[in-house]
Structure 1
């Protein structure tokens, strides 16, 4: 007696789209909300029912049951230890072309990935690549205590701004005693922020090794590859003035290209094991992109409109991460700075957008947690005062970004106007913070973008040298800038270009006549909000704005001996130079109404520009550096020079560039 076996029914394949999106032939994100039983974003926006679409396979004819065709049904294989989130089999490339390609049938992007290309061979390499990797092993990299020291440097100085590897992760990776691409990249970053000059050569060898490992596909975990390219951005062997494939700008765009391939710009499925890491990687790339684009005056590599990754939350970080709040605030302020400079570069900064940026900065300042603030309110006093907190290197770096944004946003377009009070105070704060860096010997631990912050503050300070009434403390602040740039250029050649810019500006400032105007700096109530949580300890110019006694108005007698002065009929009875607030667009800005305006009879001595109780003394080496006959001027960041340089200087710049 023969038994008749009935073929088991073929499984029903559940598609990743809902019925509505399937009919409209648009991409559906229903699978991202499956665990929460929410509808897809398209149905939510259109307020239509969201029903999962099921795609059925063709049924086998019942007449063929007696002799069924051999059908192989693949069963889901349980994950093994070797199938971690980083294995190539689990890392499909992201494709979004179905959003704009229509067809009569479904476009199954998942099915399109079911083939194995030459680049997906796990553990297999071209013989030529394998030979290169064997040769690179001859590059000796740090071992023993030096290796541990570099890794500690990375964790302490670099990781707060790219929190992708924890100390436990590093111990696990380093325990294998394998010089992988990820570990080698961390050694490179650790060598950059080291206080020991002897490790520079070790860092270069590690970098050469990392490049070989990257270009020979030695790392099979694509997330690790992206993380390694992020860490390599700490190295900048050449400045932005020169085209290079070894600087942070190049590695940033490499990181972004890989991130787009992996779909890191899309909100990850919460069920993914590495969902939190993917978010941290993406926002690290966004912050790096904003900083590098701002420092170089170039387009950003990431378009925020293409991403739907939600902002970071504390739960996206590993438990006990003390730098979680710091990094979240860091991402926000870099995004504001990136948006601002992009509007300036494109010429799209309208009054409305400027108001929005001002509100964004106020919102950021108010949202900074008390644990990260520079000052804390002082209790038990009759007047509301703030006291400077204990020195914290990371918190100082965070606020330097804020002050840099203030300088750029409130700069005056008219080169003959005195500096805006907001920009003046912000530049003074940056000077005070860098003075703390020098005192605590933390200059070697700064990132390369600190060069840009220094240059922004230094150019602002040099721009008001022609106003004698603002001469207080300017020599001290400029000296701090020069000392800081001198320390940074020992490890970042791009600081040499910034130093040349500052030196040329100093040279030109000595040829500009003093302006016989006394400036009384005043803040509007709205502008004062930008400094409400701060105090005078880090700002030498604080008294000129917030202490009326420190900025007494000048009188006609103050200009005795200067030269022939034509009296302004609009001057007040006492001949006092006052400031009036005039509206320009939405913003109230100070405009000096000089009681004495006129031509200075005869040139003003250059040393008077530096007279602050004593002339500025320059050594012969300083004079050779500052007043060199070379007329070349590096072009980094010149997108905002023109608004700060007097007209006489623009002729010099146009001949030099």
Structure 2
């Protein structure tokens, strides 16, 4: 092992901070970081269970390591041998251990193979049919929550959290009731009532089994800080220009702040995407591939997503887009870029990202971010459909989001100037990429759709497509216009799609 990875164990009522460890490389050992009652971190050094001819990556990527997964064996990092002066402490703690044993459920109580009592099952394995007092109160709260939409000032209430927005489509019954009560038809985005938490985002909301799964997947583990920094930097350098869905200034401000860290789901997804474009040797297997490392980050992010760990809907969409950076091949239909792009689009439409937010109560920075996220989903939808021969999922007739402008890439907050101003080349690249994807959709509809096969090929359609492409090329800005005499990566990437 050449790196270390850390785990921070916190009280159950505290959300684990995704701030990376500051530990450096320490040969073949790994370090477990624990936070004590006094708030200080203690470090415990561990060694791998056995030597491997192939370099073990448990320290950098977590347990299970790639080797043990490949050979289907249990991956363990044994605890250090007990020191002599520890015997006295163990003797003192024996009474506490005995007391804990006495508190364990008796064999007669229903429990699963892990020893967890599942309060949602009866002794015969059937799900319970009655709610607890707290569950009943929570359900009653949810049932009455949408009544808040009927309050007079609710339609024009400011939306303080962009990830907590309720979307009411025009044809929904609730939308008709709200319009009838308020006499307004132009509002489709509303602040989500405070007593509705679409998902769960705190450890206290996860049961023991879910927590165990997250720990087994290493969802709370991060690479050491130098490697983590390199992965984040690689993401913003090579991936973000293609999918400008994350406000870099805001993310980096949180990334450097252990008291207000970024979403752990989003961070693991960024590490996944970053691992695909990072050349650090610590991420590579014996064949020089980063696929095993990417798979580890993918499993961590997916475990957090499956556990409903995050409740910010914008963050969920961002993470879903980035999960598409890992896939096993064209034959895989449940973990590829097409699958995750389609899921991200569905979640985004559920939050109303396909609708214009210009008249909404979102803040200006959030309006810009929403537009970038939606048009990123549009480009992914079209480019993946072309590359894999799949049908498109986004119908432009259902969307009224305005076209992106250079102003939409500004990351200034209401009272904070952005640390990272937009790169003119990156901005022009994405603006032209969106226009090119519009033409892709036109070509797919006219020449490759099932409906087009049932009608005769129209020469006018082909001429229209050719003219659109020629017009795009003629008006392509010089910053991203590729020329053989002055090769530029982003210009070359854009024209390879052309």
TM-score (norm 1): 0.43
Post-superposition offset of 1:389: 4.1
Residues 163, 314 of structure 2: 8 Å contact kept:
no
**Does 1:397 pair with 2:481?**
no
Residues 358, 367 of structure 2: 8 Å contact kept:
yes
Equivalent residue number for residue 161 of structure 2: 85
C-alpha distance after superposition, 1:578-605 (max 9, x if no partner)? xxxxxxxxxxxxxxxxxxxxxxxxxxxx
**Does 1:125 pair with 2:205?**
yes
Residues 275, 294 of structure 2: 8 Å contact kept:
yes
- Partners in 2 of 1:272 and 1:111 — Cα distance? 9
Post-superposition offset of 1:158: 0.6
* Structure 1 unaligned residues grouped into runs of 5+: 1-72, 376-387, 403-657
Residues 182, 227 of structure 1: 8 Å contact kept:
yes
Q: What is the aligned counterpart of 1:145 among 206, 223, 226?
A: 226
Q: What is the SS of the residue equivalent to 2:273?
A: helix
Equivalent residue number for residue 462 of structure 2: 354
Post-superposition offset of 1:315: 0.8
- Partners in 1 of 2:201 and 2:302 — Cα distance? 20
Superposed, 1:244-323 pairs within 5 Å as 244-270=333-359, 271-273=361-363, 274-318=366-410, 319-322=421-424, 323=426
**Does 1:157 pair with 2:226?**
no
Residues 200, 310 of structure 2: 8 Å contact kept:
no
- Partners in 2 of 1:279 and 1:330 — Cα distance? 15
RMSD across aligned positions (CA): 3.4
Instruction: Say which is worse superposed, 151-160 or 280-289, in terms of deviation.
Output: 151-160
Q: What is the SS of the residue equivalent to 1:396?
A: helix
Equivalent residue number for residue 503 of structure 1: none
How many residues are matched?
311
Instruction: Say which is worse superposed, 147-156 or 105-114, in terms of deviation.
Output: 105-114
Equivalent residue number for residue 343 of structure 1: 446
C-alpha distance after superposition, 1:489-514 (max 9, x if no partner)? xxxxxxxxxxxxxxxxxxxxxxxxxx
Equivalent residue number for residue 4 of structure 2: none
- Partners in 2 of 1:204 and 1:130 — Cα distance? 20
**Does 1:210 pair with 2:318?**
no
Post-superposition offset of 1:131: 4.3
Q: What is the SS of the residue equivalent to 2:334?
A: coil
* Structure 2 unaligned residues grouped into runs of 5+: 1-150, 183-187, 284-289, 411-420
Residues 276, 316 of structure 1: 8 Å contact kept:
yes
- Partners in 2 of 1:167 and 1:398 — Cα distance? 22
Equivalent residue number for residue 276 of structure 2: 192
- Partners in 1 of 2:237 and 2:190 — Cα distance? 45
Superposed, 1:228-627 pairs within 5 Å as 228-236=319-327, 238-240=328-330, 242-270=331-359, 271-273=361-363, 274-318=366-410, 319-322=421-424, 323-346=426-449, 348=452, 350-375=458-483, 388-402=484-498
- Partners in 2 of 1:192 and 1:316 — Cα distance? 27
Post-superposition offset of 1:84: 4.2
Post-superposition offset of 1:354: 1.6
> Cα distance 1:357–1:75, how it changes in 2: closer, same or farther (>3 A)?
closer
Post-superposition offset of 1:147: 1.1
Equivalent residue number for residue 589 of structure 1: none
Q: What is the SS of the residue equivalent to 1:92?
A: strand
Residues 198, 311 of structure 2: 8 Å contact kept:
no
Post-superposition offset of 1:283: 0.4
- Partners in 2 of 1:75 and 1:135 — Cα distance? 47
Q: What is the aligned counterpart of 2:311 among 215, 220, 223?
A: 220
| Bigger Rg over Cα | 1
Residues 269, 319 of structure 2: 8 Å contact kept:
yes
Q: What is the SS of the residue equivalent to 1:205?
A: helix
Residues 271, 297 of structure 2: 8 Å contact kept:
yes
Post-superposition offset of 1:116: 4.6
Residues 181, 228 of structure 1: 8 Å contact kept:
yes
Equivalent residue number for residue 170 of structure 2: 96
- Partners in 1 of 2:374 and 2:396 — Cα distance? 11
- Partners in 2 of 1:315 and 1:358 — Cα distance? 30
Residues 86, 220 of structure 1: 8 Å contact kept:
no
> Cα distance 1:102–1:119, how it changes in 2: closer, same or farther (>3 A)?
closer
C-alpha distance after superposition, 1:357-404 (max 9, x if no partner)? 1121111112111222123xxxxxxxxxxxx343211110001111xx
Post-superposition offset of 1:314: 0.7
> Cα distance 1:93–1:135, how it changes in 2: closer, same or farther (>3 A)?
farther
> Cα distance 1:321–1:138, how it changes in 2: closer, same or farther (>3 A)?
closer
**Does 1:183 pair with 2:267?**
yes
- Partners in 2 of 1:105 and 1:336 — Cα distance? 37
- Partners in 1 of 2:390 and 2:163 — Cα distance? 35
Residues 386, 440 of structure 2: 8 Å contact kept:
yes
Residues 280, 312 of structure 1: 8 Å contact kept:
yes
> Cα distance 1:104–1:266, how it changes in 2: closer, same or farther (>3 A)?
closer
Q: What is the SS of the residue equivalent to 2:324?
A: helix
> Cα distance 1:190–1:107, how it changes in 2: closer, same or farther (>3 A)?
same
> Cα distance 1:153–1:304, how it changes in 2: closer, same or farther (>3 A)?
same
> Cα distance 1:269–1:303, how it changes in 2: closer, same or farther (>3 A)?
same
Tell me which of the two structures has the higher relative contact order, counting C-alpha pairs closer than 8 angstroms and 6 or more residues apart.
Answer: 2
- Partners in 2 of 1:104 and 1:202 — Cα distance? 49
